[in-house]
Amino acid sequence: MITIPLRILLVEDSATDVALIKRNIKKIVEDPQFELVEDLSGCENKMMNFIPDLVISDYNLPNCDGFEVLELTQKIDPEMPFIFITGTIEDEDLAANTILAGATGFILKKHMPQLDEKLKPLFKKIVYNMVANDELRERIRKNKIAVNQIYNYLDELNADKEEQMENLDKIRQDIKNSKSGEDDANKA
């Protein structure tokens, strides 16, 4: 059993599959921490704020496909392990393309009864790499969270600034309107 806690981002829209995946992972990981999303925006948010150790994704999702999730993940963290667990990849070329595109592995949902056995070698490789770089990984995770918090704060400041500029423009316009009203009253 893997005793290192793993932070796992699940990109999946089927509640049944989520339950099966979690149950199988708990057979091989002592303390898994899960976050669940169903779309790209949720994935991006969790990649920035949850900072997972690996991403597990379905291929067919309501608003996107697995390649889009993989591309987003690689854009945010090119070293992030990424595993497809899907019923879609029946085509050998498509399966090969997922690996060539950077996925760590893929498992067909028809193998769900043996999912823990299919995941075990992939997880062992991920954990081996994590342990080798554990201190660095934790510092990077904390730095990413801090940077993301700074970006969020700056976005809020920009939004506040835009609102203040709009309010100032309204005040200027009101002053201008009241002055022109006074001028018209003085002329009369």
- Report CA torsion sign: 115, 125, 26, 61: negative
Per DSSP, the three-state class of 60 is strand
Instruction: Specify the pLDDT at position 31.
Output: 92
Average pLDDT of every residue of the chain: 85
Indicate the pLDDT class of residue 59, thresholds 50, 70 and 90.
confident
Indicate the pLDDT class of residue 183, thresholds 50, 70 and 90.
low
Q: Which residue has the higher pLDDT, 188 or 85?
A: 85
* Mean pLDDT for the stretch of residues 11-26: 95
Taking the CA atoms of residue 18, residue 46, residue 74 and residue 119 in that order, the dihedral angle to the nearest 10 degrees is: -30
Q: Which of 37-51, 71-85, 129-143, 149-163 has the lowest mean pLDDT?
A: 129-143
Instruction: Specify the pLDDT at position 155.
Output: 83
Residue 60: which residues within 8 A CB-CB, separation 6 or more?
66, 86, 87, 88
- Record the pTM: 0.70
Instruction: Specify the pLDDT at position 4.
Output: 86
Instruction: Specify the pLDDT at position 34.
Output: 97
Which amino acid type is present at position 84?
F
29 bridge partner residues: 2
Instruction: Specify the pLDDT at position 91.
Output: 62
Per DSSP, the three-state class of 40 is helix
Phi then psi for residue 105, to 5 deg, are -175, 170
Q: Which residue has the higher pLDDT, 101 or 30?
A: 30
